[in-house]
Structure 1
Amino acid sequence: MEQTTITSNSTSTTNNTKQRTIRSALRNKLSAHKIGLLCAFFATCLFSTKGIFIKLAYQYGIDSITLMTYRMFLSLPFYIAVFVWIIRKKPALKLPIKAQFMPVMGIGLLGYYLSSYFDLQGLNYISSQLERLLLFTYPTIVVLLSWLVLGNRINRQVIGALILAYAGVFVLFYHDLGKQGEGVITGSLLVLTACFTFACYLLFSKTKIQKLGSLVFTCIAMFGASFMIFVHFSIEHDVADLSIPMPVFWISLWLAIGCTVIPSFLMSEAIARVGPEQTSIVGGSGPVLTELMAVFLLDEVFTIFHFVGMSMVIVAIVWLSVRK
């Protein structure tokens, strides 16, 4: 009888321990998921200010590559500091870093050199609202690339989301084309090219982030982008061209820290925690934030065309992400 009681108590204790362990694991998982979503949200908020401040800088006559150079020059010390800190903290990462360094630098060229360059060039021709809406379609390009390169299937729901997204872009594109002329075509093509290179960056980044961690990956990617931007500047400009008005310097500082350093780490962490699909869902707030800032800071108009186009694209991308 005593033996049976002892066995029963032991079994009960074991079950309670297992339940506590499961509850603890679920809490940790939910906590990690919430952190990932918050990272994605704040990254989206900060990234959404980029086009606005670039437009403000352009009012002082600065060109795209000089602005990019200042942006990376001011942000690079932060990436170097984080990279050195991680290497000292986790020396075991030295071997995988050595193996992945050049490939990740190449990925960085796609996401933070080519994509940024085409984006900034496009903003010379189109409104910040159209630019943000075009950039927001990058998940559709990820889907198309996954189909073409990886052989992933595209079902009817995905095709419907793609049609809805680009129909929304066309609504705003048609409106701006009538108001601003053929420059809108050039600007839109440049920004769509930026979307394509950023989609490639996302497609290739996930496995590297899993091998190196989000912080190390982001630092190395930025090293590659910074190197190419500095080379580009040295080809097109002289050192004297680095002389810029003080307001442009402060804008560049915000672009470096608020629109590059902080959101790049937040975005990589979000992708690592919740994946690119849920990260893109949270990014649905991006066009809305840009619309608001464009209206209040740049005095850009907001019409029914803007509302309809923005709504169609947001619904399409969220639908696409949920289906995935």
Structure 2
Amino acid sequence: MSSSPSARAVGLGFAALGALGFSFKAIFIKAAYAYGVDAETLLALRMGYALPFFIVMGLYIARTEPMRLTRSDKLILVLLGFLGYYASSYLDFLGLRYITASLERLILFLYPTLVLLLSAAFLDKPVRRGMLVPLAICYTGIALAVGHDLQIGGSSVALGCALVFASSLSYASYLMLSGEVVRRLGSTRVTALATGVACALSLGQFFAVRPVVALVQPWQVHALSICMAIFSTVLPIWLVSEAIRRLGAGPASMVGTLGPVFTILLAALILHEPLGLMQLLGAALVVFGVSRLRV
């Protein structure tokens, strides 16, 4: 971690660009759904286009920092790939069929609160008293945002919220389990191998449930999938890693709180999603609550 002003400025820029890239993911998905593609095919396209980049990343780390993986290492990497990049992505794609990109991003953004609660339940790390108020603020904000959309969409919104919440829970489980593995194997190695597993699972799921001809989609779907793979998957992962290296995890994560704000603005500008007072208030509460957490 560098303390020079120029390195910090670059780190802040990387963190902001990473947050912006991740924020575009829901926009790309919603735009692709307009062409009639299903979640399984779209996920396979995203992961298929991202896979070559992660293969290159894995080969690079294997050459520069060779390490022999044990059988238990391989098993935990498969589990991390399933939870962090396959299950969480698939549930998120399914949920976006039913809810707005803005609401999806807010629910996903609850993952730090879930890491806190899961760590208390399974890792014997009790929630400190000072974290109770931020937790309450986060879930009050979600209640406001979800309540607004429930009045409009009813049961379909409830289903979408449940699916995206399950996605956030899956990603939080990945974060909770990955701490020791990342310290031992390195973040780049874990990211490359876990995402590789997720790509294989996503492609395997597609070939199991869809005919190959389903890959024949309008060029717009392929273009959006490529953009999602590069600008909302590969580049943000690298940018955030570089931001953490220059700033440290704390400051980089604080910049990451801009993510929901970016998504709300992009959804209104590009997808023309309605923007109500309760949604804005709920978003403000969630962002503020998460920013006060110390996981």
Q: What TM-score results when the alignment is normalised by the length of structure 2?
A: 0.92
Is the CA contact 1:130–1:173 (under 8 Å) kept in the aligned structure 2? Answer: yes
CA displacement, residues 22-41 of structure 1 (integer Å, 9 cap, x when unaligned): xxx9747x877666554433
Q: Which of 236, 260, 284 is the matching residue for 2:257? A: 284
Q: 1:95 aligns to what SS in structure 2? A: coil
Q: For residues 245 and 91 of structure 2, what CA distance do their matches in structure 1 show?
A: 27
Instruction: For residue 97 of structure 1, report the CA deviation from its aligned partner.
Output: 7.3
Q: Which of 181, 189, 192 is the matching residue for 1:208? A: 181
Q: What TM-score results when the alignment is normalised by the length of structure 1?
A: 0.84
Q: Which structure ranks higher in relative contact order (CA pairs < 8 Å, sequence separation ≥ 6)?
A: 2
Of the two, which has the highest radius of gyration? Answer: 1
Equivalent runs, 1:150-299 vs 2, <5 Å: 150-270=123-243, 277-299=250-272
Q: For residues 284 and 213 of structure 2, what CA distance do their matches in structure 1 show?
A: 45
Normalized per residue, the structure richer in helix is 1
2:31 alignment partner in structure 1: 56
- The one-letter code sitting in structure 2 at the alignment partner of 1:46 is G
Q: Which of 44, 61, 74 is the matching residue for 1:86? A: 61
Instruction: For residue 215 of structure 1, report the CA deviation from its aligned partner.
Output: 1.9
1:311 alignment partner in structure 2: 284
Change (3 A) 1:201 1:269: farther
Q: For residues 168 and 245 of structure 2, what CA distance do their matches in structure 1 show?
A: 21
Is the CA contact 2:2–2:246 (under 8 Å) kept in the aligned structure 1? Answer: no
Is the CA contact 1:68–1:117 (under 8 Å) kept in the aligned structure 2? Answer: yes
Cα RMSD (Å): 2.2
- The one-letter code sitting in structure 1 at the alignment partner of 2:198 is A
Change (3 A) 1:27 1:189: closer
CA displacement, residues 81-115 of structure 1 (integer Å, 9 cap, x when unaligned): 1221222233xx23247762332232011111000
Is the CA contact 1:105–1:222 (under 8 Å) kept in the aligned structure 2? Answer: no
Q: 1:219 aligns to what SS in structure 2? A: helix
Unaligned 5+ runs, structure 2:
none
CA displacement, residues 293-313 of structure 1 (integer Å, 9 cap, x when unaligned): 011100111111111001111
Unaligned 5+ runs, structure 1:
1-24
CA displacement, residues 160-209 of structure 1 (integer Å, 9 cap, x when unaligned): 11111011011011111111121111000000000001001111223222
Q: Which of 38, 46, 54 is the matching residue for 1:71? A: 46
Is the CA contact 2:142–2:286 (under 8 Å) kept in the aligned structure 1? Answer: yes
Q: 2:81 aligns to what SS in structure 1? A: helix
Identity of aligned residues (%): 37
Instruction: For residue 214 of structure 1, report the CA deviation from its aligned partner.
Output: 2.2
How many pairs does the alignment contain? 295
Q: For residues 259 and 212 of structure 1, what CA distance do their matches in structure 2 show?
A: 24
Q: For residues 200 and 274 of structure 1, what CA distance do their matches in structure 2 show?
A: 25
Is the CA contact 2:106–2:286 (under 8 Å) kept in the aligned structure 1? Answer: yes
Is the CA contact 1:139–1:280 (under 8 Å) kept in the aligned structure 2? Answer: no
